[in-house]
Structure 1
């Protein structure tokens, strides 16, 4: 029934020399740390350490644990049998309750159908009979028909309520039972005092209108509490649109598995797409003039242990050009290196300092240094530096956020960093002359993604995905202050955690995912205090599970959505 299982996932451990090969043995010498214990075949060849095979060590550890488990199974066996019988009885009760609910659902559906059928009967008329009434100037007896209709409705409602009450006893203590009874009361209360022999009096109408008003009040209060006019709307340009992204119909790639991350390399020839725990590398035609389907170069499998959430290509002119970095829900970051032909990628480094999911990761494009920055559900921001030995190490950790880190953005100079998190705070972080990063300002503002527009302007998207808040730098003290908020009403609410804001400097376009829409917003920044914002295009998707990114030159927009289950390509086109 039970088998020994280590708390640690031994597959996640590397050898002490980081060869990126499976561990096969254990160094049994005393005084070593856990990171120095495991070795691979290459370690053994190089160091000739006295080691014990990993399998033998595991068997030695698990033998006494298995004996304890066997004794425990003998003790719990009779109790488990009784609990199985108890579970069977609960399942039987569940079946009875579900049958009761099915009966009630059928009654209400039939009730609705009967009322609609009566309406359909009233709607049908004989054209020639009605024509004769007009010609002979006779009035139809609408009053008698109204009374009869109302009487029929009373009879139907009372019959159906009586049937429902037969099935309600088992649910008296359920949440929602009192509201259910209140709805039945509303249906009956408007019928009890109606006299079929008298006209439908004005006082009776007033009473029913009062009941209807009471039922509508909570909804009106809810709508008034939302304060829709609190923020100016994002201006949508429906005339004289300056550009749009047009889909390339035949340039698609089928992707049935969940794709939460996409990345394009520096010259738009390679695309990396997440496929749940795996990564697919695609090659596309550089000019996009020829309509050819993307070519799958390689599928990077079984390295990440959970869904891939972040993908980024290294784009600086260096030896790391077209290297790929990935982050995952398994809390690891992997750097992948291509061969010379850029056909095969291999895992070069696996960084494990985070303890929970990687939510955001960026690569500084500054020419001064090689730097990666990651944000995690473990509430930390980590800075990764390339050492002289060409290995990556965590050089600094910031722990100012008190909940999940959601979004990161770095300026062009590489000396200012923005972060936003689930604690509803934005951090403005500066790099000091000692190459250390320090939090200079905290702004209370909820946000799920964030992006620099210029060094003096940044924008943050709300956690619900419907609000863009712009902040500008105060020239007197260098701190950022809130300037404007714009409510996006082009698709409803929708989480955009793994489809973050993306500002494209070359085209001056802000890419923002909102509900069922991918929005393309143009920005005209005449001065830090004058930023004109125009919604140029809103691309609608049937479902709101959408992920995507844009190329550096702004010419290519790629998306994946759960409805089409394919990678779609759109090309930038200016309007004449």
Structure 2
């Protein structure tokens, strides 16, 4: 401690050190100055106050640490790549590669420790000891070279294997810089020669000398902040240099500029979003208005033609009528309730006809309502509530509630109301009106001449509300991203004449496996381009299901219920097991449970089978459980993220949910109106299901109060009435995207900001015999359809 105090005392004047000379060529003992020294050496050009020197030293330390961190992180990343490569081929060269892997782990830990040691050492360097400090990297260079030699020697033992060429290339990427930590003056010498000590053309009121520093103490009077060299002598260690203050001011101005720029950009973005939503509302209204008008015109035209035909047959001369026709007419006339029965029958007939038209009209109005609801939600998030609003509660939650709607357009005149209202929650007390938004459709009476439907949108805002405690601000939100798939291989179609009922990507998305008739074909896949690798297979019927279980192993199932297990060895796929007795009809889907090391299959034989590999050294799979709770074909199955819940759907119009105990136990059955060909878990406690003839994709969530799954939302999708099995639902959590086949369409849905899924794109293939696969990152979609007999690749576009 005494040495430290001596270093901070001027050896000439015995006063406290306030500045340092950064010229390393000068005498080390004469580089520290007190305020009296400063008076003598003001214009020397090498004098800097302690705060500036400290900043300069800190900058040198940070630059050195950044360079070291780059090389160390580079080496750590290279070693991690080597670890992954070695791990993949570890099965073949177990002993040698285990040793290499161990050495790599040890070296990785050494490098990581070295980084932390350097950082800790640098923390101890400051303005009092930096000139003594010097760090060499010779030892590190020697260790890296020794380590490289060791690894190369180990790899040379098995170098005849081509898979290890990658390892040798990565080893060469290991490097170490020879940077030496030295502290130099580093200030701009050119500026020093022009102005020795930066100053203002303002004189100190007390000493009549140029201002070279400022007092940044917040309690100091504004007019007393400027200081000359004599001010610094009188009160040392309380001033900040002119250069430092000017740098801070520049940073502050840059900060202000960025803030103003952000406000301008956000304002423009909000304006564009609101105008876009208004455009969407207008387009939806116009489109549905034309559609409703077309429905009504078509119905009226059809009704007029039918009436004209009936009227033309009236007044017919009985002399030319058939005997049976005359008897039927007389039979009607002698019936006492002839008029009543005719009125009842004709009313029921045309009421049913009218109901069909009304449903079409109502569906169109529902679309307008959904568009308005989504646009209202988007706009409401971008509106800033006036700061004069006063609300008694601190917490504000906005509820969105859609009032119930009566069936529209009956035979007698009815008024239809669609309303969107924002209600105050239990904790919110608003002193005046609540914001309301209502959509009213004026009275409409159905007759032979259709009347127009008018829509009016009213938004009523209170003139002034008061907030007792806290201001409310709704932050501006980022624009909702839109997604779509675009075909990227026009003119480069990949023809496949054999029926392709199953496709799947491996875990890296670089290998595509397709079931082509009774054969299996593999393709190298890179950024949307195909390259055929191999064709093989031992199935005696069409391949209908595929599933990867490891990076070099997959399972195939066929239309006769046979399962075949494949493994890649020496760049070729070989079958290592075949199961023919677990199912006796078509395999529809295969899942792999990584956590429990199980394979789950479903089939048209009404069964779900769970396979286990109890002895992994032998690699033989056997049946552990058979689930037979469905009454017909089991079309689709799915596991949740934790692999504790299994769901299934069948031709018996049932959704079944199973919980994993030791085995899977049935805990819930949901009856639906038609067959569900495909379903998929989205999250751990929510899934979606596609009903064959429906126009919606249904979403189910687990209700903790009821302890069961319930339907909580639907999303409208395109469909062509009928559908076929195959092509499981694709999920991409990265883009909040669902990809689902329905009839002749592939529907692409995205989760909106209000947590509601909406169809963003519907791709029509004009055939329901359509199959495909989505890469795990959601960037590419590969399909095969019966109409084109071609593989097609589409790329995801996000904007």
Residue 547 of structure 1 pairs with residue 771 of structure 2: yes
Q: Which residue of 2 aligns with 1:371?
A: 598
- Which one of 755, 777, 790 corresponds to residue 566 of structure 1? 790
Aligned CA distance change for structure 1 residues 241 and 501 (closer, same or farther; 3 Å): same
Quote the offset at 1:192 in angstroms. 8.9
- The offset of 1:482, in angstroms, is 1.7
- Pick from 537, 543, 548: which aligns with 1:313? 548
Select 1:246's aligned residue among 479, 483, 486.
486
Q: Does the CA-based 8 Å contact 2:779-2:795 persist in structure 1?
A: yes
Which residue of 273, 280, 295 maps to 2:531? 295
Matched residues in 2 for 1:454 and 1:311: separation?
Answer: 23
Q: Distance in 1 between matches of 2:620 and 2:362?
A: 53
User: CA separation in 1, counterparts of 2:361 and 2:621?
Assistant: 48
Instruction: After TM superposition, give the deviation of residue 241 of structure 1 in Å.
Output: 5.6
Give 1:417's aligned residue: 646
Change beyond 3 A, Cα 1:226–1:361: farther
Deviation at 1:222, TM superposition (A): 8.5
Q: Report the CA distance between 1:407 and its aligned residue.
A: 0.8
Q: Does 1:328 align with 2:558?
A: yes
Give the C-alpha shift of residue 330 in structure 1: 0.9
Instruction: Note if 1:470 corresponds to 2:690.
Output: no
Structure 2 residue 724 is the aligned partner of structure 1 residue 502: no
1:438-453 matches, within 5 Å, as 438-445=665-672, 446=674, 447-453=676-682
CA contact (8 A) 1:329 1:356 kept: yes
Corresponding residue number in structure 2 for 1:381: 608
Q: Distance in 1 between matches of 2:354 and 2:540?
A: 48
Task: Give, in whole Å, the separation in 1 of the partners of 2:498 and 2:694.
Answer: 24
Structure of greater relative contact order (alpha carbons < 8 Å, 6+ residues apart): 1
Query: What are the within-5 Å matches in structure 2 for residues 523-534 of structure 1?
Result: 523-524=751-752, 531-534=755-758
Q: 1:297 to 1:512 in 2, by over 3 A?
A: same
Bigger radius of gyration: 2
Task: State how far apart, in whole Å, the 2-side matches of 1:222 and 1:545 are.
Answer: 34
How many aligned residue pairs are there? 353
Query: In 2, Cα distance between the equivalents of 1:296 and 1:351?
Result: 28
Q: 1:240 to 1:430 in 2, by over 3 A?
A: closer
In 1: Cα distance, 2:541 partner to 2:637 partner: 22
CA distance in 2 between counterparts of 1:400 and 1:312 reads 24
CA contact (8 A) 2:715 2:758 kept: no
SS in 1 for 2:715: strand
Q: What are the superposed Cα offsets for residues 455-487 of structure 1, whole Å, 9 maximum, x if unpaired?
A: 121111102263311111111243111212334
Distance 1:502 1:329 in 2: 23
Instruction: Give distance in 2, aligned partners of 1:331 and 1:370.
Output: 21
| TM-aligned CA distance change 1:218 to 1:477, over 3 Å | closer
1:124-523 superposed matches below 5 A:
190=313, 193=316, 217=350, 220=353, 223=356, 242-249=482-489, 252-285=493-526, 287-288=527-528, 292=529, 294-301=530-537, 303-314=538-549, 320-341=550-571, 344-352=572-580, 353-364=582-593, 366=594, 368-388=595-615, 389-432=618-661, 435-445=662-672, 446=674, 447-464=676-693, 466-488=695-717, 490-523=718-751
CA-to-aligned-CA distance 1:199-250 (integer Å, 9 cap, x gap): xxxxxxxxxxx9xx99985982793798896897696899976122221125
Query: 1: distance between equivalents of 2:543 and 2:553?
Result: 17
Unaligned residue ranges in structure 2 (runs of 5+)? 1-305, 318-342, 376-478
Q: Does the CA contact (< 8 Å) of 1:465 and 1:514 recur in 2?
A: no
Gaps of 5+ in 1: 1-182, 195-209, 315-319
Aligned-residue offset at 1:545: 2.2
What do residues 347-373 of structure 1 show as CA deviations (whole Å, max 9, x unaligned)? 221122112111121112x3x321111
Deviating more after overlay: 420-429 vs 504-513: 504-513
Q: 2:781 aligns with which of 549, 557, 560?
A: 557
Alpha-carbon deviations, 1:9-62, whole Å to 9, x = none? Answer: xxxxxxxxxxxxxxxxxxxxxxxxxxxxxxxxxxxxxxxxxxxxxxxxxxxxxx
Instruction: Say which structure is richer in helix.
Output: 2
| SS in structure 1 of the partner of residue 755 of structure 2 | strand
Please give the residue correspondences for 1:26-175 in structure 2 after superposition, counting only pairs within 5 Å. none
2: CA distance between counterparts of 1:558 and 1:191? 62
CA-based RMSD? 3.4
Tell me how far apart the structure 2 counterparts of residues 358 and 262 of structure 1 sit (CA, whole Å). 14
* More divergent stretch after superposition (460-469 vs 413-422): 460-469
Shift of 1:538: 1.4
SS of the equivalent of 1:324 reads strand
Cα gap change, 1:227 to 1:438, in 2 (>3 Å): farther
**Farther-moved stretch of structure 1 (331-340 vs 535-544):** 535-544
Residues 715 and 759 in structure 2, CA contact (< 8 A), matched pair in contact too: no
Q: Which residue of 2 aligns with 1:86?
A: none
More strand by share: 1
Measure the CA separation in 1 of the matches of 2:683 and 2:539: 35
Retained in 2: the 8 A contact 1:465–1:494?
no
Aligned equivalents of 2:517, 2:695: Cα separation in 1: 27
- C-alpha change, 1:265 and 1:220, in structure 2 (3 Å) is same
SS of 1:354 mapped into structure 2: coil
Is the alpha carbon distance of 1:418 and 1:559 closer, same or farther for their aligned partners in structure 2, counting shifts above 3 Å? same
1:500 to partner: Cα distance? 2.4
TM-score by length of 2: 0.41
Change beyond 3 A, Cα 1:556–1:187: same
Is the contact between residue 310 and residue 359 of structure 1 (CA under 8 Å) also seen in structure 2?
yes
Provide, for residues 320-344 of structure 1, a one-character-per-residue CA deviation record: whole Å limited to 9, x for no partner: 3231211111111111111243xx2
Aligned to 1:39: none
C-alpha contact (below 8 Å) 1:466/1:492 kept by paired residues:
no
